[in-house]
Structure 1
Amino acid sequence: MATDPAQRPPTIDSAAASRWSRLAPAQNSPWLHEEIGRRMEDRLQWITAKPKTWADWSPLRGGLEAHVLVARRYAGATPYVIEPDAALAERTTGLLTAPWWSARRWQGAQPRFEAPPEDGVDLLWANMALHMAADPEALIKRWHRTVATDGFLMFSCLGPDTVRELRALYARLGWPPAGHEFTDMHDWGDMLVHAGFAEPVMDMERVTLTWATPEAALAELRTLGRNLHPARFGALRGRKWRGDLDAALAATANRGGPDDGRIALGFEIIYGHAFKPAPRVALAPESAVSLREMRSMLQRGRPGL
């Protein structure tokens, strides 16, 4: 796998990615995102750190139910909500804010929607967002700035083998790519270290979804994302193309077994977490240290060399 950012996936049209980031879901969080959030939350049992503050990155798409699970696990921690696009922030606020008469107001700290503390949060939770970022390395660096020293990042995203059946179908029919490329988990680990995180741990699993009809499959795929590949179809497609796609999808349906007659697509799910170590100052005649880094080093009682 290439390590040069110019050669490494994702192959994303940045303008299309920006439009997607501002498009609010027609309904609430996608089912697959909620399921991955549930599985990622279960992994928190193996992390001994107990955050006092945490932030949820874009929960409207990442999973509102998953947000509740994390809040329940860390009931004594102060939760923050970060919607990177203002177009989604108002809706997220309305969905996560408990009314005064709701019992939820007495079930732990209520989410806060202002900027997180200047020194960062102990946990940044980012479910199913990274694979749709036009500049993922810049996003990881932003996450690094949001995490406090000795805090940790927990994230998930789609991997390269996602919907390979659909990609193969498009290639067989001579159509442009069915979707942009997704990054390998080893490259994510490299980017985490490059951004300043330490001890990244990456894991992967495959999930298969099935549908009774092509219409149902395409409807759910639209909730999960968009084709952001620069070489995707450049214009609207007509009824004939849609009919050809439906027929081709129907022809892939499993025959025999428990999923007889159902269309199946596989998703590679990548999980990762990494800690943010104390800042270190390189030995040099002159060194520049931010006020935040200096405060962190002084609080630890050592110069961080």
Structure 2
Amino acid sequence: MQAIFDASLVIAHRRRALAQATPGADFLMARAAEDLGERLSTVERKFTRGAAIFSVSPAATAVLAASGKVDELLRVEADRAFLGGGPGVVSDPETIALDPASIDIAVSLLALQEVNDIPGQLIQIRRALKPDGLFLGVLAGAGTLVELRESLLAAETELSGGASPRVIPFTDVRDAGGLLQRAGFALPVADVETVTVRYDTMFGLMQDLRAMGATSALADRSRRPATRRLFQRAAEIYAERFSDPDGRVRASFSFVWLSGWAPDASQQKPLKPGSAQVSLTKVLGEDGKQ
């Protein structure tokens, strides 16, 4: 399978962001962590061992700890720097160094969108879960940075007659639900939430993306350096197409949430067609009306 992302560049971007530690740059992660807490609060059970997978931030394990529902916590990261000196496991970014059936809850915050093999990683998570173990994850989905994508594409086409991808592709919520099924999760659910952030200019957005470690790490990226003229024209197009009456511009971020359970015989399953013990006709009457 051809790699979509340069995994070493993904790590380099995140290491740089972590080293700079720009105050407030983690606002999307903070939002994702808050949402995780709300979703976890609706789960009425306790877990013995949980893992936060490739989330870089300690926010995921902090939410699990604060819930009081997980006895033991583990972080799995692609680089030791992401562990911040704390305990955890360092693993290849395309592989999860967890034994089969070793955890009963796994969470992933804003990491899966830069994985080359999302189905493969979901399968690994499902295998690491004990029967009836829970996976909760969120990734940036289709619609994320659509304004930036369009502005850069239009500017580069105008200036050079062609364009290279400068914003990564994102997964649609419908495809995400299918990925959970392919990975073998039971009771899969995928839903989407759009967050709109406003900036004075496109350059404010780009500064935040760099501070998040979220600039493009495409393997097939253009090797030609982007020019100041390109970015200036893109900022003009961005302001023309995506500004509010007060002159500020919008940036969209789509959170695609995934949840699924490792299969277990105790879980509810839909009845097979024709397996009902009482016919609908008998319930409603022979004419089909009550």
TM-score by length of 1: 0.72
Q: Distance in 2 between matches of 1:233 and 1:159?
A: 23
Q: Which moved more, 1:198-207 or 1:29-38?
A: 29-38
For residues 9-45 of structure 1, give each alpha carbon's deviation from its aligned partner in whole angstroms, at most 9, with x where no partner exists: xx9634x234213541423573212211211221111
Q: Please give the per-residue CA displacement for 1:124-144, whole angstroms capped at 9, x wherever unaligned.
A: 011111111111111111212
% of aligned pairs identical? Answer: 22
Name whichever of 42-51 and 168-177 sits farther off: 168-177
Q: Which residue of 2 aligns with 1:246?
A: 235
Matched, 1:69 2:32: no
Structure 1 vs Structure 2 CA RMSD: 2.6
Q: Distance in 2 between matches of 1:213 and 1:199?
A: 42
Question: Which residue in the other structure is 1:289 paired with?
Answer: none
Give the direction of change, closer, same or farther, for the CA distance of 1:113–1:131 in structure 2 (3 Å limit): closer
- CA distance in 1 between counterparts of 2:204 and 2:166 reads 17
Cα deviation, 1:52-71, whole Å, max 9, x if unaligned, reads: 110011232xx323431221
1:231-287: CA deviations, max 9, x gaps?
54331123322332333334445342xxx22121111110011000138xxxxxxxx
Match of 1:92 in 2: 83
For the pair 1:163 / 2:145, whether they are aligned, the reply is yes
1:38-49 equivalent positions in 2, closer than 5 A: 38-49=34-45
* Structure 1 partner of 2:179: 191
In structure 2, what is the Cα distance between the partners aligned to 1:232 and 1:26?
20
Give the Cα–Cα distance (whole angstroms) in 1 for the partners of residues 99 and 71 of structure 2: 13
1:282 maps to none
Contact in 2 for aligned 1:132/1:225 (Cα 8 Å): no
Whole-Å Cα distance in 1 between the matches of residues 40 and 148 of structure 2?
Answer: 33
Partner of 2:48: 52
Per-residue CA shift, 1:195-234, capped at 9, x if unaligned? Answer: 2211101111110011123332111122252324465433
Which letter does structure 1 place at the counterpart of 2:37? E
Residue 13 of structure 1 corresponds to 4
| Counterpart code for 2:237 | A
Residue correspondences, number: 246
Tell me the residue number matched to 1:34: 30
What residue in structure 2 maps to residue 226 of structure 1? 215
| CA 234–249 in structure 1, closer or farther in 2 if over 3 Å, else same | same
- Unmatched tracts of structure 1, length 5 or more: 1-5, 98-110, 280-305
Aligned to 2:194, which of 184, 189, 206? 206
- What is the rounded CA distance, in whole Å, between the counterparts of 2:143 and 2:82 in structure 1? 32
Aligned to 1:121: 103
Give unmatched runs, 5+ long, in structure 2: 91-96, 158-162, 266-290
State how 1:99-110 maps to structure 2 within 5 Å. none
The secondary structure found in structure 1 opposite 2:257 is strand
Shift of 1:178: 3.4
1:181 aligns with one of 140, 147, 169: 169
Do the aligned partners of 1:170 and 1:176 also contact (CA within 8 Å) in 2? no
Q: Which amino acid aligns with 1:129?
A: A
The CA deviation string for residues 147-193 of structure 1, in whole angstroms up to 9 with x for no partner, is 11110100001111111112222332313233232111222222222
Match of 2:248 in 1: 262
Distance, in Å, in 2 between the alignment partners of 1:194 and 1:157 is 17
How far apart in 1 are the matches of 2:110 and 2:223?
26
Q: Paired residue for 1:298?
A: none
Distance 1:90 1:170 in 2: 32
1:103 aligned residue: none
Report the residue type matching 1:30 in the other structure: D
Against the structure 1 CA distance between its residues 76 and 66, is the aligned structure 2 distance closer, same or farther, given a 3 Å change threshold?
closer
Tell me: CA distance 1:185–1:91, structure 2 relative to 1, closer, same or farther (3 Å).
closer
Distance 1:76 1:203, change over 3 A: closer
State whether structure 2 residue 118 is matched by structure 1 residue 136: yes
